[in-house]
Structure 1
Amino acid sequence: MPIRNIAVGRPQEATHPEALKAALAEFISTLIFVFAGEGSGMAFNKLTDNGSTTPAGLVAASLAHAFGLFVAVSVSANISGGHVNPAVTFGAFVGGNITLLRGILYWIAQLLGSTVACLLLKFSTGGLTTSAFSLSSGVSVWNAFIFEIVMTFGLVYTVYATAVDPKKGSLGIIAPIAIGFIVGANILAGGAFDGASMNPAVSFGPALVSWSWHNHWVYWAGPLIGAAIAGLVYELVFISHTHEQLPPPDY
């Protein structure tokens, strides 16, 4: 049971050099990801006169986020695990794969990374708005809430299958690609409805810098619930810590 593995962690962990290095890696990787993803939307708006909501803008956002996340996960995977997302961190905590204190450290670093990325974008673009996530016309908060749960479930399930599962074997090599691809695909599926955040940090930075908090709770509650479900399902159903692990060629 994953509940047996859930731990608060020792107070010393908050100041341990390795934990601080991991938090710094999360800060940098989240900054890289948000700068690329949010920046691509701002650039597309500038080039096409607010064309980011068009089909071409949706495809551009999908590619930018997929590529950006692939790099962000890759550069921090060996240091912090490459979470780049408070929902992923929460899913790992629910599954007993990270302590609460380290998770909080990651959250602080991720939110700071997103905020700094948006501030840098606003400064370097001469004051252009970093658009906060919002619902499309005709989409209710509950529609968006379900969208965020389902999309984040798919993301965190992919993280567990390719990066967390002890039986992943050589599949772990393509984990950053798989994680980037599922985010890109989900943006194509849900971007036209609620922006397809799947990541509270990605929503928090633009909302803070533009000071626009309308329906912001959706982009926290949905991803955290989806991540928790994915972590529990994968730990309870697919990860067994008692059976003998098969050699890599067998799976």
Structure 2
Amino acid sequence: MPIRNIAVGRRQDAYHPNTLKQGLAEFISTLIFVFAGTGSGMAFNKLTNDGATTPAGLVSASLAHAFALFVAVSISANISGGHVNPAVTFGAFIGGNITLLNGIVYWIAQLLGSVVACLLLKFVTGGLHTPAFVLSSGVGVWEGVVFEIVMTFGLVYTVYATALDPKKGSLGTIAPIAIGFIVGANILAGGAFDGASMNPAVSFGPAVLSWSWENHWIYWVGPLIGAGLAGAIYELIFISNTHEQLPVAEY
């Protein structure tokens, strides 16, 4: 579906059995991802008595999110496309790869999955605090926004290149691991500055449970802008123009 075919969709599609199955897949995969990713942060805080973030903690968060996202995308890819992220869904919509109404179902499922994951974490840890995303000391709000734009752009561009591009060929088999790797790498790059969310659902669940909304808008505005840019650029330049694979000698 090229970008010129961006569509709202039919109302009945929003509650079609296939759409509901896709929403359920997004709910389950997002729950698994947030439970593992946020849980790793809570475990680190418990082991260090809520101490300051250390290089080891940053690496462990990166690995936990990369591994969990690899699994979450893999288990839902054949059902819903494995978005696991409202920003990815928005980027797919901008590129004309999903209708608005279907995207709203995905968003609801992803946000609910994140909230339920955080509720489960709070229960199984005996009521431990579920930390919300915050800016580190010395990092301004617009610096945080730019961080989120750049990191989410890289994530959604990777999704397009490895999963949505019709000429991806056998590259599609490594899409989940490539997507997991870029998220893990971005956490190493931005985790010490703004937490490196790249995913409004990942930010939303902890914010609800801790009821901490300071600068929460950053983790929506940044990812949605980055995702929209990635979707528009890749779709308009590399897909809509029906690109042909270059000869090997010209790479």
Q: If the TM-score is normalised by the length of the shorter chain, which range does it land in?
A: over 0.9
Query: What residue in structure 1 maps to residue 171 of structure 2?
Result: 171
Q: For the structure 1 residues 52 and 58, does the alpha-carbon distance in structure 2 shift closer, same or farther, using more than 3 Å as the test?
A: farther
Helix, strand or coil for the counterpart of 2:84?
Answer: coil
Aligned-residue offset at 1:242: 4.5
Separation in 1 of the partners of 2:107 and 2:180?
A: 20
Query: What residue in structure 2 maps to residue 36 of structure 1?
Result: 36
Query: What residue in structure 1 maps to residue 45 of structure 2?
Result: 45
Aligned-residue offset at 1:240: 3.4
Separation in 1 of the partners of 2:243 and 2:148?
A: 34
Residue 126 in structure 1 maps to residue 161 in structure 2: no
Query: What residue in structure 2 maps to residue 86 of structure 1?
Result: 86
Residue 162 in structure 1 maps to residue 162 in structure 2: yes
Query: What residue in structure 2 maps to residue 228 of structure 1?
Result: 228
Moved over 4 A (4+): 241-247
Bigger mean CA offset, 46-55 vs 113-122: 46-55
Which digits, 9 at most, give the CA deviation of each residue in 1:95-150, with x for residues without a partner? Answer: 00000000000000000000000000001100001100000000000110000000
Q: For the structure 1 residues 99 and 246, does the alpha-carbon distance in structure 2 shift closer, same or farther, using more than 3 Å as the test?
A: farther
Which digits, 9 at most, give the CA deviation of each residue in 1:171-230, with x for residues without a partner? Answer: 000000000000000000000000000000000000001100000000000000000000
After TM superposition, the structure 1 = structure 2 runs for residues 104-143 of structure 1, keeping only pairs within 5 Å, are 104-143=104-143
Given that residues 130 and 210 in structure 1 are in contact (C-alpha distance below 8 angstroms), is that contact kept between their aligned partners in structure 2? yes
Given that residues 52 and 58 in structure 1 are in contact (C-alpha distance below 8 angstroms), is that contact kept between their aligned partners in structure 2? no
Query: What residue in structure 1 maps to residue 240 of structure 2?
Result: 240
Aligned-residue offset at 1:49: 1.7
Query: What residue in structure 2 maps to residue 214 of structure 1?
Result: 214
Separation in 2 of the partners of 1:149 and 1:193?
A: 14
Separation in 2 of the partners of 1:79 and 1:68?
A: 18
**Counterpart amino acid of residue 41 in structure 2:** G
Given that residues 167 and 246 in structure 1 are in contact (C-alpha distance below 8 angstroms), is that contact kept between their aligned partners in structure 2? no
Bigger mean CA offset, 3-12 vs 159-168: 3-12
Separation in 2 of the partners of 1:240 and 1:224?
A: 21
Helix, strand or coil for the counterpart of 2:43?
Answer: helix
Instruction: State the identity as a percent.
Output: 84
Residue 193 in structure 1 maps to residue 182 in structure 2: no
Unaligned runs of 5+ in 1: none
Q: For the structure 1 residues 237 and 113, does the alpha-carbon distance in structure 2 shift closer, same or farther, using more than 3 Å as the test?
A: same
Separation in 2 of the partners of 1:166 and 1:78?
A: 15
Normalised TM-score (structure 2): 0.96
**Counterpart amino acid of residue 219 in structure 2:** Y
Unaligned runs of 5+ in 2: none
Aligned-residue offset at 1:51: 4.0
Which digits, 9 at most, give the CA deviation of each residue in 1:74-94, with x for residues without a partner? Answer: 000000000000000000000
Separation in 2 of the partners of 1:141 and 1:242?
A: 39
Separation in 2 of the partners of 1:121 and 1:221?
A: 27
Normalised TM-score (structure 1): 0.96
After TM superposition, the structure 1 = structure 2 runs for residues 4-43 of structure 1, keeping only pairs within 5 Å, are 4-43=4-43
Aligned-residue offset at 1:5: 1.2
Aligned-residue offset at 1:245: 7.5
Query: What residue in structure 2 maps to residue 65 of structure 1?
Result: 65
Helix, strand or coil for the counterpart of 1:142?
Answer: helix
Separation in 2 of the partners of 1:5 and 1:184?
A: 33
Q: For the structure 1 residues 245 and 21, does the alpha-carbon distance in structure 2 shift closer, same or farther, using more than 3 Å as the test?
A: farther
Query: What residue in structure 1 maps to residue 75 of structure 2?
Result: 75
Separation in 1 of the partners of 2:180 and 2:244?
A: 31
